Structures are given as structure tokens and as C-alpha cells.
Amino acid sequence: FWVENGVRKLLSLMHRPDIARAPGHIWNFMLEDAFCFAMNFDDLWMRLCDLLDNISADLSEGSGKADSAGFFQSVRLYVDAHLAEPITIQTVCHIFGISQPYLSRLFRKYTTQSFSQYLTSIRIEKAKEILAQDSGILIKNVAMMVGYVDQYYFSRTFSLHVGASPTEYMEQVNERQNCL
């Protein structure tokens, strides 16, 4: 168990989110198999070497350069997938192994927005979708679903970007739907 825990920690340090989404990626299953089916330490060692070879191949075939559109796409997909979490630029930089100024340049290059502007805009767009789908939802629940802990801060931010409070927006959507 001690060896397995150590290997898992090592692999988590090597792990990149874009690799985990690669088609056919099975390193997690290979790790389970290595520890479940190894007959002795030599067999375990060989299975772990195979696992590391596969991860190495995934890294070399991965998104390539950190300034490529593919790399930026993997960062953007990670941010989109973790929208409801308390995600920060520091978190994303740590996960992808890049500096904050570099990540900021990537966002400016590919979106013409800063990281925080992008995060706010996708959170507000998701909130608009949620409000349009469920007219009875509480604003505090919407705020939490899109990564805001404070519903009042969420309401102010929403109002600045949409031009209406979340409640007003929900009423406008309901009026449009009733007219149809």
C-alpha cells in the first residue's frame, strides 16, 4: 500500500488535465492492474515501467508547445469544466506548469480577454442559461453553481455584465417565453 500510494503521488505530479482527456488514455486502469495482478516486485516493476512509457508517449504526442492553440484549448476546457469551483489563475498555472504572466498572455492572444474577464464572462453566460431554464431557482443556488460564494457579489457582477439583476433577467426570460 505504501508503494502504491507513492506511485499515485508521483503520477499525480506528472499528470496534466489535457493528457487525462486524451482518447484511449488508460493509465489509471494500468496502475490498478499493475498493483492487482503483479505476482512479485519484478513483475510490478515491469508493469510500472510500461505505465511510465505510456505516459511519456502521451506527453510527447500531447498538445505540443505551451503557446500553441491546442495547449490553450486544453487550458480553456479545464477552466470551463471547473467553473463551479473556486478556480484562480494561480490554480490553473500550477496545474499546467506555467507562470501567471504567461497564462495571461495566452488568454490575451487567443481570447482578447484577461483570465479573470474570461472566467467572469463564462460564469455569467452559464448563470444566464441556468436562470432561463429554471424560473423557480434561488439566486444563491445559481451563484454557487457558477462558482460564486457570495450571492450579493454574484448579483452585482451579473448586473454589471447583463444590465439587469438575476431576478430581473429571469422575469424578462419568462415574459419572452410566455409571449411565444
Q: What is the pLDDT of residues 137-173, one digit of tens each?
A: 999 999 999 999 999 999 999 999 999 999 999 999 9
C-alpha grid cell for residue 61?
A: 504526442
Q: pLDDT tens, 109-127?
A: 999 899 999 999 999 999 9
Q: Are 128 and 162 in contact (CB under 8 A)?
A: yes
pLDDT of residue 28: 62
Report d(CA 143, CA 150) in Å as an integer. Answer: 7
Q: Grid coordinates 495566452 are at which residue?
A: 106
Report d(CA 22, CA 18) in Å as an integer. Answer: 7
pLDDT of residue 18: 46
Residue 148 CB-density burial (10 A; 0-12 exposed, 13-18 middle, 19+ buried): buried
Q: pLDDT tens, 87-103?
A: 999 988 888 888 888 89
Beta-carbon contacts of 99 under 8 Å, excluding residues fewer than 6 positions away, are: 93
C-alpha grid cell for residue 87?
A: 478556480
Q: Are 97 and 19 in contact (CB under 8 A)?
A: no
Residue 145 CB-density burial (10 A; 0-12 exposed, 13-18 middle, 19+ buried): middle
pLDDT of residue 21: 43
Full-model pTM: 0.64
CA atoms within 13 A on the CB side of 106: 23
What is the SS3 assignment for 179? helix
Report d(CA 94, CA 65) in Å as an integer. Answer: 17
Higher pLDDT: 55 or 130? It is 130
Q: Are 51 and 38 in contact (CB under 8 A)?
A: no
Using pLDDT thresholds of 50, 70 and 90, give the confidence band for residue 16: low
Q: pLDDT tens, 34-49?
A: 777 778 888 777 777 7
Higher pLDDT: 169 or 11? It is 169
Q: Cα torsion at 125, 72, 18, 3 (round to 10°)? A: -110
Share of the chain above pLDDT 70, in %: 75
Q: Is the pLDDT of residue 76 over 80?
A: yes
